[in-house]
Amino acid sequence: MNADEGSAEDALLCSPTPTFVLDEAGRVRRANMAGEALATASERVMRGRPLDDFLRFGEPAAALGARAEAAPFFAFDRRIELAQGPARDGDVAVAPLSTRPGWRVVAVHARPAPRRPRVRRPVDAAAVLAHEIKNPLSGIRGAAQLIEGAGEGGEMPRLIRQEVDRIAALLDRMEGLTDTRPLDCGPLNIHAVLRDVAALARQGYARDVAIDEAFDPSLPAVLGERDALVQLFTNLLKNAVEAAPRGPVQLRTAYRYGVGLGDGAGGRVALPIEAAVIDDGPGLPSAVAAALFTPFVTTKLNGSGLGLALADKLAADLGGVLEHARNEAAGRTIFRVRLRRAGADR
């Protein structure tokens, strides 16, 4: 390669294939960016340590390397166990490094991680807890009402009632997270749904915020369920307004050809309908970004941390996905929902 074509070093560094250079003892000497991402460790941290400390292929890297004495060796369909994060399946290629005896280059082709597993057990426990708490709560609420009706206790009974209602609403939202009933999806005009969401917002939490509608008028009908969509976009819009209280906040729709998702059975589901909620706020705090869509993660004084978790679950229930993006240059936070279109089987 000449200078105009970039160096081999650059090519290795930026190659999307996770690649590691190991010395004769199987210790990491180099790792490219994709390798760092796969191992969830920087090259600096990995350097000098056995690759096995970070990922394993069912046998030590040194043993794999021994089989690539003179020519590249390929191991297909390996379970790739990661020190950080769930195991993946993929292929591993090992080749001798021609310039240093005993050294190896290891390239890993991990298949995409399976869809993020839903938090199950903690949430199911939460559902049981919610149910158990709601029963005595209604008793407490009733008692407070009686005291209030009798004109006793001053402000207290009203406060008790208010707090009880707040806890009950929180429990309701938590139960939404554990609802596993399938949604009854049909063709809908997403713009009508979004206009309703915006109208609701203007009457309540977004009284003083401009909500811009940037709708693609040629968008076909979405395959969805109205209540789920309203809840999903309300959660996103409320967050946007809270992040950028002076607004404006934007609702944007677009048709995206070719966007889709594996269906887990080798097929693909097209998700061409995009509806995004965009704000000019400061973006996600890093602690939240690291645990996005996890229940009870909140930075707000009175936050529940359930809005995004529920939005993510609803998007999945609708057969779509919720994605977060940040455009640092424009100072915009984007929550994008990708949905199926009606009348298309793929």
> Contact residues for ligand ADP (CB under 6 A)?
235, 239-240, 243, 279, 281, 283-285, 288, 297-300, 303-309, 333
Indicate the residue among 158 and 205 with the shorter CB distance to ligand ADP.
205
Least Cβ distance, residue 312 to Mg ion (angstroms): 12
Indicate the residue among 256 and 300 with the shorter CB distance to Mg ion.
300
Least Cβ distance, residue 238 to ligand ADP (angstroms): 7
Residue of minimal Cβ distance to Mg ion: 307
285 is in the binding site of which of Mg ion, ligand ADP, none (Cβ under 5 to 8 A by kind)?
A: ligand ADP
Least Cβ distance, residue 71 to ligand ADP (angstroms): 51
- Using a 10 angstrom Cβ sphere, with 0-12 exposed, 13-18 middle and 19 or more buried, the burial of residue 188 is middle
240 is in the binding site of which of Mg ion, ligand ADP, none (Cβ under 5 to 8 A by kind)?
A: ligand ADP
Is the CA virtual torsion 274, 275, 277, 280 positive or negative?
positive
278 is in the binding site of which of ligand ADP, Mg ion, none (Cβ under 5 to 8 A by kind)?
A: none
Least Cβ distance, residue 223 to ligand ADP (angstroms): 25
Return d(Cα 62, Cα 135) in angstroms, integer: 60
Return d(Cα 278, Cα 176) in angstroms, integer: 25
Distances (CA, A) of 4 to 7, 8, 12, 14, 111: 9, 12, 16, 16, 33
Token pair belonging to 56: 């394993």
Indicate the residue among 273 and 309 with the shorter CB distance to ligand ADP.
309
Indicate the residue among 88 and 238 with the shorter CB distance to ligand ADP.
238
Least Cβ distance, residue 235 to Mg ion (angstroms): 6
Phi, psi of 278 (to 5 degrees): -125, 135
305 is in the binding site of which of ligand ADP, Mg ion, none (Cβ under 5 to 8 A by kind)?
A: ligand ADP
Indicate the residue among 105 and 244 with the shorter CB distance to Mg ion.
244
**Do the strands 211-214 and 249-255 form a parallel or antiparallel pair, or are they unpaired?**
parallel
Least Cβ distance, residue 152 to ligand ADP (angstroms): 35
Q: Which residues bind Mg ion (CB under 5 A)?
A: 239, 307
Residue of minimal Cβ distance to ligand ADP: 307
- Using a 10 angstrom Cβ sphere, with 0-12 exposed, 13-18 middle and 19 or more buried, the burial of residue 309 is buried
Return d(Cα 340, Cα 319) in angstroms, integer: 7
End-to-end CA distance of the chain: 43
Closest CA to 73 of 85, 61, 58, 55: 61
Indicate the residue among 70 and 287 with the shorter CB distance to Mg ion.
287
Least Cβ distance, residue 141 to ligand ADP (angstroms): 23
**Residue 193 near residue 226 (C-beta atoms within 8 A):** yes
Indicate the residue among 239 and 333 with the shorter CB distance to Mg ion.
239
